[in-house]
Structure 1
Amino acid sequence: MDATYTVVDRLPTAATLARLRELNDMGPRSIQGLRRGLPNSVFGVVAVTDAETVVGTGRIVGDDASIYQLCDLVVHPDHQGRGLGTRLMDALMAYVEETAPPNAYVNLFADVEGYYERWGFEHTAPASRGMFLRTDD
């Protein structure tokens, strides 16, 4: 029998987010960094099973006014393909639509081609290009 899922407005624990990122081969984040950073999130959601196990998450960071960055949208591999990513993304975008003032900048970095366009996201290149810097271990 398939699990029943609920999307809840809250953040995951640092350990849960680190594990979900690891299971999906996403860039590592230190537990210390996640413990410090998660409380500074603007908004977060988790997908939980009927057994209250967190199997997916997404969050927004930024200033909650002019800049919103969607990040850490991730679903446990055993629970993918069931629409959880879409439900999590819908919840994040509902928050943005309800709270963002006109001309707010909403962005994300994604390794998934052709997924986020359905929410209106566009590639920035060639008008601009993303850059990053990762601090040392």
Structure 2
Amino acid sequence: MTDTDGTDPYAIREELPAPETFARLREAAGMTSRSLEGIERGLPNSLYGVVAVHEPTGEVVGMGRIVGDDGTVYQLSDMAVHPDHQGRGVGTRIMEHLEGYVEETAPPNAYVNLMADVDGFYERFGYEETRPASKGMYRRTE
């Protein structure tokens, strides 16, 4: 599915980015890098993903995906928009597609989570902090 109205230079496509594009967008957006091996292994295990394409150039300038078990847990992950294309509603459109997938497929009481790296964006979609009831934690492999 492609989402564009003919005047908007951005199309949202239901697909995953190529591993190199995934790495490039994460870096451009100031996100922690991932190994190419990890990206190549992980991307095919996504439940759903979208990319934002700048149609005049054909360049993938944004992405987002959902990982999880497709029943009880859904995690929105790897939301990134290249800085040159931020502030134009691209991230909002990516989120609308990710949220649409969850609304269409998740059974009642599924847990949908994300790690927010910006304030005020995800709250518009109904997300709220977990503290003090719980806290997010992580560790990295070496």
Query: Which of the five TM-score ranges fits, normalised by the shorter chain?
Result: over 0.9
Q: For 2:76, what is the secondary structure of its paired residue?
A: strand
Determine the C-alpha separation between the residues in 2 that align with 1:28 and 1:113: 21
Which AA in structure 2 matches 1:104?
A
- Asked whether 1:42 is paired with 2:42, we answer no
Determine the C-alpha separation between the residues in 2 that align with 1:111 and 1:56: 15
- Asked whether 1:60 is paired with 2:60, we answer no
Q: In the alignment, which residue of structure 2 is the partner of 1:120? A: 126
Residue 21 (structure 2) aligned to one of 16, 22, 32: 16
Q: In the alignment, which residue of structure 2 is the partner of 1:7? A: 12
Q: For 1:121, what is the secondary structure of its paired residue?
A: coil
Which AA in structure 2 matches 1:23?
A
Q: In the alignment, which residue of structure 2 is the partner of 1:79? A: 85
Determine the C-alpha separation between the residues in 2 that align with 1:75 and 1:24: 6
Coordinate RMSD, CA, aligned = 1.2
Determine the C-alpha separation between the residues in 1 that align with 2:83 and 2:135: 30
Alpha-carbon contact 1:3-1:49 (below 8 Å) kept: no
Residue 75 (structure 2) aligned to one of 31, 46, 69: 69
Residue 114 of structure 1 deviates from its aligned partner by 1.4
Q: In the alignment, which residue of structure 1 is the partner of 2:3? A: none
Q: For 1:18, what is the secondary structure of its paired residue?
A: helix
Residue 52 of structure 1 deviates from its aligned partner by 2.2
Alpha-carbon contact 1:11-1:38 (below 8 Å) kept: yes
Is 54-63 or 44-53 further displaced after alignment? 44-53
Percent of pairs with identical residues: 61
Moved over 2 A (4+): none
Residue 49 of structure 1 deviates from its aligned partner by 1.4
Which AA in structure 2 matches 1:115?
F
Q: For 2:20, what is the secondary structure of its paired residue?
A: helix
List gaps (5 residues or longer) in structure 1: none
